[in-house]
Amino acid sequence: MFLILLIGAIFRIQPHTQQMPTSKIITIQEIKSSYLIGECDHQKVLLYNVKDVSFQDVIKVQGNFELIDGVHNPPEFYFPAWCKNRNIQYALDVKDYEVIKEGTGLSHDLYRYIQSKDETTRSLLNSMLFGIRQEEESYLITSSGMHITTLWQMIRSFLSLFFEKQTLELLCFFGMGIHAYATVLSPTMLRVLSFQLIRFLFPHMDMKDRLGCSMFLILMIAPYMALELSFLIPVAFYLVSVFQLQKRKKKVVSLLVLIPIQFFCMQKIDVVSILLFSIFRYLSACLYLLAVLMIALPIPSVLLSMGVRSLEYLSSFHFTFWYVPALWWLVAWGYALVRYISEDKKYPFVRFALLLLFSQFGCYLNPFGEIYMIDVGQGDCTVITLPFHQGVIMIDAMGSLYKDIPKDIILPVLQKRGIHKIDALIVTHEDYDHSGGVEELAKLIPIHKIITEKQKDIDVSGVPFHFLIQDYIGKNANENSIITYFEMYDVGYLFMGDAGYGAEAAILKEYADLKVDVLKLGHHGSNTASSPSFIHHYRPKLALISAGRNNRYGHPHKEVLDLLKKEHVYPLITKKQGGISIRFQGVLTYFETADCKFGCIHHIFENTQNEQKK
């Protein structure tokens, strides 16, 4: 039943595109550290730049709604998809606002009361009770909501000393309801309430049936939870409790369950967080209870602060493995887990050890190479991985004055591809959107060689990378970009940097017979590059364009896109498609994009059924 519900949730009908809201009167529903969630025109919206409001406040705002968008590099967390699953499709960057009606209710009053505290106490209580944290990433415990589950298990055990079972279940259900009403009906509270409701309504039901009914109720209300930690970890633990296992073996199975879930949801496992899971779980529950007591009792905030710092200290120890699990790997781990539970005493941990080894070294057995154009916004960064992981080459590393691109975007892409070093980093020219992240990236991952000037060709594991028109001197930095050409299995790739018409004319003159199947257009698709004569002469099958959403330059320019259409060149643009992956092995070379476009270089086609309409 679990698998049927899970598969049904994965292939559920996606939320339809909603009409853009017209009202500027918005009721505040949820408060996050960097944005708010409000409701207007019977739909949820995101609000930025709104402060000093509380739950259920009604505000009048100034600004324009826009569709939620952002960089997209699967399997990285994609915020627009997270929002869409919750029926949130529009955001508003608020220019000005006024509170036209003060909110009411327990959550409103509690939040207002907490904001009157000193800064330290306010920050701690906001974090513990409302989940308002300064950092987007939180502990595995708080992400899964297991501290809330543990807290209510502790409360249940205490109340069982004084009340009969039916009265106990009723008290717990109402207590959880008040808890959700006073804070926020988060996915964790929805799950806790659903399980408790089934427990109360069907006290004599078998545990397995109770689990199935609870899962059905949760996924009917919030089907997006099927693939989230707040659902998967508690359900997995509940399934483990169904089996009649010895206490020691049950703990081992619980740890083994965490590994594939972490790989699936986060593409990494932190050994420390897994081994200390029980400690984190109870410590977080106790801190939550202490935060609740601080509201009514004169408890010094230093106690909560010490507890949080202890939790942060324990969480600061990391031993992390990265891996994007394939379906067969998850199935194999599940099979190994079933065999272990069924008392298979012959080499019980060999299967797990082999699967873990493959997760870390399987990339060296992969015959496919990859060219991945990272969606970094209005800039450039492309990673080239040779077959069997023989070498890694990067072309450009964007920097930004507003965001740490190397740490937040580039490094996770590398880690989840099993890349631990870069053999050569080619910096096409000095513009910040091409070179600004080099220094920071070098602190995060070893780079064997950084190329910043035109030089002789280089060889990486037997694959030559050619630098064209080395003697050409352009009129500016863009024209003097390092232009890189290489071939993989008879498919030619040409990366132009920000080079324009002048450099293109020099290439036409010196390399007229160059085989160009994939062309990375110069200057982000600007009309200062990609001349008609250049495109017509080489007639690439695929054009790659790295450009940011809503960029102020209007890249790529319409005349360039019209030219590509006229010459039957298929464009892939990061601001529309997200990250772009080209994989190659022998006679097969194909591309795949973040928005589910797929095609072969020699026979390009779209999966139009999955295309996102803009």
- Convert the pLDDT of each residue in 227-257 to its tens digit: 888 899 998 888 888 776 676 678 888 889 9
CA distance 504 to 494: 11
pLDDT tens digits along 160-202? 999 998 899 999 999 999 999 999 888 999 999 999 999 999 9
Average pLDDT over residues 49-60: 94
Residue with the larger pLDDT of the pair 317 and 438: 438
CA distance 227 to 203: 28
Query: Which CATH number is 367-610's, of 3.40.50.300, 3.60.15.10, 3.30.565.10, 3.40.640.10?
Result: 3.60.15.10
Average pLDDT over residues 458-483: 94
- Strand order across the 88-93 sheet: 65-67, 88-93, 43-48, 36-40, 25-31, 58-62, 96-101
pLDDT tens digits along 338-393? 888 887 666 778 999 999 999 999 999 999 999 999 999 999 999 999 999 999 99
Quickly tell me which residue has 């909603």 as its tokens.
18
At 553, is the pLDDT very low, low, confident or very high (cuts 50, 70, 90)?
Answer: very high
Tokens read off for 231: 């659902």
Residue with the larger pLDDT of the pair 139 and 553: 553
Q: Quote the pLDDT of residue 248.
A: 65
Q: Which residues of 89-113 are buried (b: 16+ CB within 10 A; e: fewer)?
A: bbbbebeebeeeeebeeebbebbee
Enumerate the β-bridge partners of residue 359.
none
At 418, is the pLDDT very low, low, confident or very high (cuts 50, 70, 90)?
Answer: very high
Q: Phi, psi (5° rounding) for residue 358?
A: -65, -35
Helix (H) or strand (E) holding 221: helix 207-221
Enumerate the β-bridge partners of residue 44.
39, 88
214 contacts: CB under 8 Å, gap ≥ 6: 194, 195, 198
Burial of 286 (0-12, 13-18, 19+ CB in 10 A): middle
At 574, is the pLDDT very low, low, confident or very high (cuts 50, 70, 90)?
Answer: very high
Percent of the chain with pLDDT over 90: 67
Average pLDDT over residues 256-277: 91
At 55, is the pLDDT very low, low, confident or very high (cuts 50, 70, 90)?
Answer: very high
CA distance 401 to 399: 7
Q: Quote the pLDDT of residue 605.
A: 42
Supply the mean pLDDT for the chain.
89
DSSP H stretches of helix in 33-92: 79-85
CA distance 592 to 354: 30
Predicted confidence (pLDDT) at residue 28 exceeds the cutoff of 70:
yes
Predicted confidence (pLDDT) at residue 149 exceeds the cutoff of 60:
yes
Q: Quote the pLDDT of residue 3.
A: 53
Predicted confidence (pLDDT) at residue 548 exceeds the cutoff of 60:
yes
Q: Quote the pLDDT of residue 143.
A: 76
Q: What 3-state class would DSSP assign to 273?
A: helix
pLDDT tens digits along 483-525? 999 999 999 999 999 999 999 999 999 999 999 999 999 999 9
Q: Quote the pLDDT of residue 245.
A: 65
Q: Quote the pLDDT of residue 586.
A: 86
At 606, is the pLDDT very low, low, confident or very high (cuts 50, 70, 90)?
Answer: very low
DSSP H stretches of helix in 396-520: 405, 411-415, 432-435, 438-444, 501-510
Q: Quote the pLDDT of residue 14.
A: 54
Burial of 162 (0-12, 13-18, 19+ CB in 10 A): exposed
CA distance 604 to 570: 8
N-to-C CA span, the chain: 37
Predicted confidence (pLDDT) at residue 457 exceeds the cutoff of 60:
yes
At 318, is the pLDDT very low, low, confident or very high (cuts 50, 70, 90)?
Answer: confident
At 127, is the pLDDT very low, low, confident or very high (cuts 50, 70, 90)?
Answer: confident
Nearest CA to 422 among 400, 394, 441, 443? 394
The whole-angstrom distance between residue 253's C-alpha and the CA centroid of its chain comes to 27
Q: Quote the pLDDT of residue 497.
A: 95
Q: What 3-state class would DSSP assign to 371?
A: strand
> What is each CA distance from 313 to 148, 280, 309, 310, 316, in whole angstroms?
21, 11, 6, 5, 5
Fold of 19-104: OB fold (Dihydrolipoamide Acetyltransferase, E2P) (2.40.50)
